[in-house]
Structure 1
Amino acid sequence: MTGSLRERWTSGRSLRFRVTALVLLVVALALVVIGVAVDLSLDAQLRRDQQSRLDDRAARAGLLVASGTTGTALVDAVDGQGIRAVLLDASGRRVVAPADDPGPPGRPPRAGPGHGRPGGPDLARTVTVPDGTRLLLSVVPGENDAVLARLRVVMTGVGAIGLGVVAVALLAVVRVALRPLDDMTELANDIAAGDRGRRLHPERTDTELGRTAAAFDGMLDALETAQVRAEDAAAEAQRSEARTRRFLSDAAHELRTPVTGVQTLAESLVRHPDADLARRERIATTLVRETRRAGALVADMLELARIEDGAPLERREVDLAELAAAEAERTALLAPALTVRVEGPPTRVWADPSRVAQILANLLENARRHGPAGGTVRLEVGTDGDQGRLDVVDDGPGIPEQDRERVFDRLVRLDDARTRDAGGAGLGLPIARALARAHGGELRAVDNDTVHNDTVDNDTMDKDTVANDRGARLRLTLPLSP
């Protein structure tokens, strides 16, 4: 039943109306309680005043009786000002009464309120007269009722006026107090219409509405952040899908050449089984080479996929300069015409040494392919903040600024004219960058700090020419050992 009443009360009514009605109800109840308390207090005070006056008149009557005053003189002396005096005989009948007493002479006095006695036991006094009569003093009936009735009329009028003033004041105060809710409604409508940058920004957050507004702003920020993240994720998914499609297309194109060559060579062997031995050996050698090219490309693609899927790393503290020296020695054995120098102090990094060696091998192979025959490659080791740094610097044609990020894309070769054997499949640098990022580091192409002033005239050479004369500088960064 209570729930049904609450539902009927709250359904279809605004919060402003409910707050105003509830406050007015509380104020009305408070006024009723105050009015009842004032009424009872005033009634008790008036009764105490009547009792005090009765005691004074009884004392005065005693003095008059002691001085010999009796009969009508005695009654007239103490009657008046809300006190009525009646002289009774021994049987209780009137002997002398005031002129305004409603009862006829000889009739017993009417019983007042309380215990059947005139005026009640606390509002009546009796004084014995020596001639056998009794003087009865009592309050005039209804004296307090008139005062209390006027008070009740005044309190009712004042209460009604007060409730009206409180209602008007409440309407204004509640409107101001609930204005943040109107602001929230307006803001919600604006956001629904597309204006999603607005916020409430409450001045105080230690109040209920302030906390609500702050929570509302926080919710909007969270929703907007989630939307931005979702949009970024969708865009990244689209870019990833485009990269995947491009990668598959390029991979298919790269594999087409060696597979076609293998197919052609195999068909040649089948069609000419009686060819001379030298021709058969050349075909077999070429067949093996094409097969290795296809196998190497597939192996690189699988390696890149494993790295991006989070292949585990066996990290430990290693010396980056020592790894660079070991890889330089290996390269010198494979390419004796290439000069590799290692520069820099020992630098302890937290990394998988075999994976770092793979990164360096790819970088040195890239420098060997693009540098001049008999060129020089420098491995410069150092630190950069909390990262260990290794720069691979060659004296080749360099990387134009607009291509310094593109060279790390899969299957990208900047020189489309060079042979595939010389240029490789374009997966060495992407694998090296993926391994660097798996360690929490980075691999990027940066400006070469070494400018050959004796061969380059900065006033006459354009930017690309200067960059080419500088050579390429690939910078590897890895976390320092903790």
Structure 2
Amino acid sequence: MTVAPRTARPRRWTLRRTLVVGTSVLVALAFVIMSVATIVALRSFAFDRLDQQVRESLSFVAGSSRFDAGSRPPAGGSGGPAPRIGSLQAVVAADGTVERSGYTRSDGTEVALTDDQVARLTTAIATDRQPSSVDLGGDLGTFRVAGAQRDGTTVFAGESEADVSATTSALTVILAAVGAVVLVAAILGLSLFVRRSLRPLERVADVAQRVSTLSLDAGSVDIADRVEPPDTDPATEVGRVGASLNDLLAHVQRSLDARQYSEEQLRRFIADASHELRTPLASIRGYAQLSLGEDAPMTPTQARSFDRIESEAQRMASLVDDLLLLARLDAGQPLRRDEVELTLLAVDAVSDAQASATTHEWRLDVSEDLIEVTGDENRLRQVVANLLRNAQTHTPAGTRVTLSLARDGADAVLSVTDTGPGIDPAVAERLFDRFARADDARNRDEGSTGLGLSIAQAIVTAHGGSITVDSVPGRTVFEVRLPA
């Protein structure tokens, strides 16, 4: 059985909250343990003292010498010391007769125990002189009682647990109140302390966040943000993070500068080479046309060679013009800013396509209203022509190609839709790359240079717009959005 891997849950708490809550829980847990230990220790100590008093009372009530002789223990009024408040005494004869029993109230008066209470004593208390707890019910409650027996007579002595219970209850309330106050103070103090301690980390995070919003994919990029020196102390963890971030940003800046320099060198080389190649290519075409235009006799091989020279020179001139245009667009050469009627431009583009490619079915879908944009009319015509030519080149004969134009909010949307076989998803990701090849996705003429879509994207981007493609078998849509 295959077990699906567990996905980590997103961390919803900040580091500050985690530290404050975690430390507060530990403080509260430590205080609870300390309080419980204190209460248990105090209760144990109080019971030890109470048991000691019970044993002393038992020895006093029993009267070791007289008890050994079988005499009755002295009563409360026989001249001996008065019993302690809250103490209990009882003497039961061998035949079960209660010879004497009593409990001393808080006002010093002594009341006799009931038969039921004496019965509880004789049932629950062993006569091994070891104190144990027994609930006598009524107004007496729980007592700590010890018993002893000799010659058939049983003596009980005990002390009330009310004082011990009251002491432990009061201590519990005091510790709970003090613990609550201490916990609130600890949370407030921890919040301030953690907030102050994490400020350097927040400043480092702010620098990283600002840098993350920069566009680093193209153009000259200057990363001016750096972590301040106080937050780059290598002796602290946050300082090490800040110093490492500064080193990383410096490395990225050097890499971007090197990339920009390389791109500028390559762009300058392409522009210079394209510009220099235009003259010799024009000369080659001119000489080829001159040779073909003369009536001088030529062999078929010579005639075909001059014809191919002219054709290839023309194709190379077109490629050089495309490279020169891309180099100028990459260099940020400003375009003309005129009012361009996209509706008329779309009508002209479809008319030209119908005249040049009768193997396809061309359709136009535009609204009645004129849609205008600001830009370079010649370049925008080149965009539409490249998209239509792309549809013609990479789809079989009989394919229906529709040029649509509409307004969507503040944008003018121009789309070219064809019913061809579609584009391979693997190719669609690099469709706008220069010299991209889509042989596996659509039937491609050998005359394509692979620069048409990249030129269209560069022109649209220079106009502040965007171009996207959506393709499934039987429907491919290139959509151009321009600010209207």
TM-score range, shorter chain: 0.3 to 0.5
Q: Which has the larger helix fraction?
A: 1
Q: Which has the larger radius of gyration?
A: 1
User: When the two structures are superposed, what TM-score results if normalisation uses the length of structure 1?
Assistant: 0.42
